[in-house]
Structure 1
Amino acid sequence: MEAKIYDLLDEKFAEEEFTDCFLIELKLHANNKLDIFIDSDTGITFDRCRKISRYLESYLDESGWLGERYTLEVSSPGVSRPLQLLRQYPKHIGRKLKVKLKDGSELEGTLTEVGDDQITLERKVVERQGKRKKHMKVSTEIPFGDIDGALVQISFK
């Protein structure tokens, strides 16, 4: 059944209004609850989530894939969920990220660039030079394959 839902989403994302949308995650729970997290290159709106939800509901109701009683939630991943796909990064250029690497280490900095297979973070570092401290900005390229997860850091300054 999940394959059928993937196919339905592919069809919807081929429509002109939804060509910049993509699937982040699909979770089918034991109690007939289906969670679908989507995103887009320009940001996802409530209206777009609602349209995709209605589209899927019509198929689920007609086919009975989840039975007569089910819960369907279509939403954006939100800021509390880590970025999972390289495609999610470009719209966050200029924002601060906390990146957890697969080796267990973490880096925090401002996302300055997104390449085909890596991101670049600009970090502020303090280096001691004798009794003085020198504040510097360092750019670090991180291969996407080394990233375990990245969270956008929200600032209220």
Structure 2
Amino acid sequence: MPTITEKLADLITAYFAEEGREALFLVEIEYKGENKVQVFIDSDNGVNFGDCARLSRHLEAQIEENGWLGEKYTLDVSSPGLDRPLKLHRQYVKNIGRELSVEIEGEHKHAKGKLEEVTEEHIVLTYSEKVKIEGRKKKELVEMRQEIPFERIKKALVKITF
């Protein structure tokens, strides 16, 4: 028998497949017991309050009709926000051009830089670093590129820049 998160994921996927909603996608569902469910959605074009409200009403109708969570439950539908890590390939593509902080498997320091490229296998960050160039007295600022395979990304956050 499917879990509540699987049932909700199926409903959301079908809802987003409808005409006009193809840019929206499910990021994550958290079921916290005590009948509290958090649904995080994103969009290639950005999520607005109306997107969240419409999905919430759709899910509430199904939850109540099927009695999945009983009479008392809490359902929160929102976008992930900048404090939550990127999880899906589509989120990386959406954030090309933004600054990221990436925790890499097996390394102690975070990679930080501008997300320049996203492929099926990896991301590319660019950043500036002072480097000693042979024949010169001072270190010079050089544009660097770092390719990071998805399987090595432990956590990636969009950095807020002002």
Q: TM-score normalised by the shorter chain: which range applies?
A: over 0.9
Cα distance in 2 for partners of 1:81, 1:146 equals 18
| Aligned pair partner of 2:141 in 115, 135, 142 | 135
Query: C-alpha root-mean-square deviation of aligned residues, in Å?
Result: 1.2
Q: TM-score, normalised by structure 1?
A: 0.94
| Gapped regions of structure 2 (runs ≥ 5) | none
Q: How much has 1:4 moved relative to structure 2?
A: 1.3
Which position in structure 2 is the counterpart of 1:116?
A: 120
The within-5 A match list for 1:32-71 is 32-71=35-74
Cα distance in 1 for partners of 2:11, 2:161 equals 37
| Aligned pair partner of 2:13 in 10, 15, 22 | 10
Q: Give structure 1 regions of 4+ aligned residues with deviation exceeding 4 angstroms.
A: none
Determine helix, strand or coil for the equivalent of 2:148: strand
Q: How much has 1:83 moved relative to structure 2?
A: 0.6
Cα distance in 1 for partners of 2:6, 2:144 equals 44
Determine helix, strand or coil for the equivalent of 1:103: coil
Which position in structure 1 is the counterpart of 2:150?
A: 144
Residue identity (%): 44
Determine helix, strand or coil for the equivalent of 1:17: coil
The within-5 A match list for 1:94-109 is 94-104=97-107, 105-109=109-113
Quick check: 1:91 aligned with 2:97? no
Cα deviations by residue, 1:98-135 (Å, 9 ceiling, x for unpaired): 11111133100011111122111101111124641111
| Gapped regions of structure 1 (runs ≥ 5) | none
Cα distance in 2 for partners of 1:21, 1:34 equals 19
Cα deviations by residue, 1:30-56 (Å, 9 ceiling, x for unpaired): 211100111111111111011110000
Figure out how many residues of one structure are paired with residues of the other and give that number.
156
Q: TM-score, normalised by structure 2?
A: 0.91
Comparing 123-132 with 51-60, greater Cα deviation is found at 123-132
